[in-house]
Amino acid sequence: MGLKTLYGRWIAVNALGELFGLGLTLGVGFSICASFDVGGVGGILLAFGVAVFSGTIEAVIVGLLQWWAMHPWFPAISRLRWFLGTLGGALTAYVLGYLPSTLMDLSQTAAPAEQAPMAEPPQWLVLLLAALLGAVAGAVLSFAQWLAMRGSVRGAKIWIPANMLAWFIGMPLVFLGIDIANRGQPLWQSLGIMAVALLVTGAVVGAIHGAFLVRLARDSA
């Protein structure tokens, strides 16, 4: 199988992985939080815990699909090591990603009742912060995957900046999809918008770090 096949497989599994993995992660997290009538500090901490641990769903789906797509070209990479690296990196990225908003929510809860709520930031700032968050999350996730690559893939260190670039571009697409899906349309339309946003995000992210993966496969041949 040629490198074009690797690239196509990689884009496809990342698109499907984010559609089902991140889609189920968001859906399960929302459903669990909605089923508990917990307010105040307890509700905030519950939401944080559910959001982080529901990320296991995305890590399992994406990690196994990625390994399946790349295995013929990288037979030395262990499925277990790749899966554990993806899982550990994803959970760490979720903690770092949700921690700032959780701390902000806790600080607002502790603020005096008469204090005016903080104004919502403009969309351009939200998307910029999402891009920076994506770069950090990409670095965390790919570092754990790099640990599974090193020693068996020559030049594997480029995997970290590849993922930083991919998620710098991909994360704003997720936030944009969430924003568009929450504009008062019927539920089925919101779900459709999110599905398209996640599918496109996965394909874009896969296309970016997939190009680096193809380079690694070519150099390791």
pLDDT tens-digit map of 154-203: 999 999 999 999 999 999 999 999 899 888 889 889 889 999 999 999 99
Angle at 15 between CA 9 and CA 18, to 5 degrees: 130
- In 18-158, where does DSSP find H-type helix? 23-35, 40-53, 55-70, 79-110, 123-149
Query: Running DSSP on this structure, what letter comes out for residue 21?
Result: I
Q: How far apart are CA 41 and CA 168, in angstroms?
A: 31
Task: Note the pLDDT tens digit of each residue in 38-72.
Answer: 567 777 787 788 878 888 888 999 999 999 999 99
**SS3 (DSSP) at 38:** coil
Burial group, residue 214, by CB count within 10 angstroms (0-12, 13-18, 19+): middle
Q: How far apart are CA 98 and CA 112, in angstroms?
A: 24
Q: Please give the model's pTM, rounded to 2 decimal places.
A: 0.87
